[in-house]
Chains A and B, each alone.
Chain A
Amino acid sequence: MTNKVDINIKPKRGVSLYSYAGEYGVTMSLEDMFAEMHDMGARGLEILANSHIEGYPNPSEEWLENWDRLIEKYDIVPVEYGHWVDSRLYQGRHLTAEESYEMLVRDFKLANRLGFTVLRTKLGVINNDLTPVENWREFIKMALPMAEKYNVRMCPEIHAPTLLKSMMVDDYVEFIEETGTKYFGLNIDFGVFTTQTIPASEWGPNEFIMPESDHSPVKDIIPLLPYVYCCHAKFVKMSDDFEEMTIPYEKIINTLIEHNWDGYMVSEYEGPKKDVPGYAVEQVRKHHVMMKRILGE
């Protein structure tokens, strides 16, 4: 008998390649980003399908073979595949449920081929409160059997200014409970816990600054955890002593540990100077120092 907590039941570290968006194709290739993850011991990978799959949605055999080689060489675990239902794909009308379904299934197949089991499914919205398109229940329900067939879980991202206690999250949870599905869940972006902002002067003139909004207390994630298959470990600024300056990370990660959540937290750098070569790379490294310390790795 031991009282020791099972060290295997812990959140795991990963990286969303979105973090390196300012460098991709200019100073970093896909392989460079994988090498960077390997170097930090961050195994869990999030890609954005439209960004990182060359030739998307029909990558060449050569690209696919290279993908398999890179995953093995750098010991990467494909975790989350970011994709979109681009509901305003055509000017003047929204996609029908059938069109949305087809868009989803195309990505299920590709995600499955690349080894991903969680999808960050971004739905189109209809207003400033980010209310999803009216027919979302219809096409998500249509897609559930195919999600099961391809073993992928669709997870809309819960992102500020949405609160964890909100009609939107309630609607998603109600859908999950009604259908009893394991193939639809949630991705919580830690930006929902933002308690501070950095001075506006830290942002460059052409950078998008998230408007300030209300935040959720960390404990609000607890009842949702059974449905959370991946988290966006969003961050805005790491200090030189390895603390994130806007989001209560220690509390979040400790809450996840206490509740035996063992999914991946994928670092998502969304701070200033993404386009300054080397800046985001250093920020992500600092973020992983912080996560390792809190996780006790």
Chain B
Amino acid sequence: MLEKPCIQSRGFKNVERNGQVIGFQVNIRSLYYRGLWLSQLRPATVTVDGETFSGDQITWTINDVTYTQAEMAELGDVHWGLLKPATLTVAKEGGLESGSHEIEVNYTYSCSYFPPVADTVLGGTQKRTLILV
């Protein structure tokens, strides 16, 4: 079972490549009541302790496949279901120190059965303090 908040505490960790820490990861679950096609998602921003990341600084891993945010805009047949969190990987040289961090994730999504104006409204900012062990 998932944790109730959008931002999950499990999965919060630094990411290493070739022995270097190149960023960190945080898992989010969708709080919308239905899954979403990736092209319905509008690009996310992630803020950690006041520092904001966006665009190609963030990738989404969904069902074990990693996408750039630009790629996602074209993927109308890949689905993000409700039972599996997406992993956001944020490029940040050196990663994060062990301890508490204030995390904010913001994204919206289109919903065709609501009036078009809703596309910029649904979703929004989620906040949680997470502990990196």
Contacts and interface: CB of A to CB of B under 8 A. Distances in A.
A113 to B, nearest CB: 17
A50 interface: yes
A208 B127 CA distance: 19
A67 interface: no
B3 interface: yes
Interface residues of A, number: 31
Contacts, number: 82
Interface in A62-121: 84-91
Contacts of A91: 39, 42, 73, 110
Given A88-B116, A125-B113, A24 B82 contact: yes
A182 interface: no
Nearest to B35: A50
B79 A25 contact: no
A126 B34 contact: no
A124 B118 CA distance: 12
B1 A123 contact: no
A26 B113 contact: no
B104 interface: no
Interface of A: 18, 21, 24-27, 29, 48, 50-51, 54-57, 84-91, 122-128, 130, 275
B112 A54 contact: no
B14 to A, nearest CB: 27
A250 to B, nearest CB: 29
Contact of A48 (B33, B83, B117): B33
B112 A90 contact: no
A50 B1 contact: no
A89 B76 contact: yes
Nearest to A85: B112
A1 B66 CA distance: 70
Greatest chain B CB density within 10 A among A48, A51, A275 is at A51
Given A25-B1, A50-B35, A90 B81 contact: no
B105 to A, nearest CB: 16
A90 B39 contact: yes
Contacts of A50: 34-36, 79, 81
A88 B112 contact: yes
Contacts of B131: none
A123 B113 contact: yes
Nearest to A274: B33
Contacts of B35: 50-51, 56
Given A26-B3, A51-B82, A57-B79, A89 B39 contact: yes
Interface string B70-107: 00011011010111000000000000000000000000
Contact of A21 (B33, B37, B74, B117): B33
B13 interface: no
Contacts of A26: 1-4
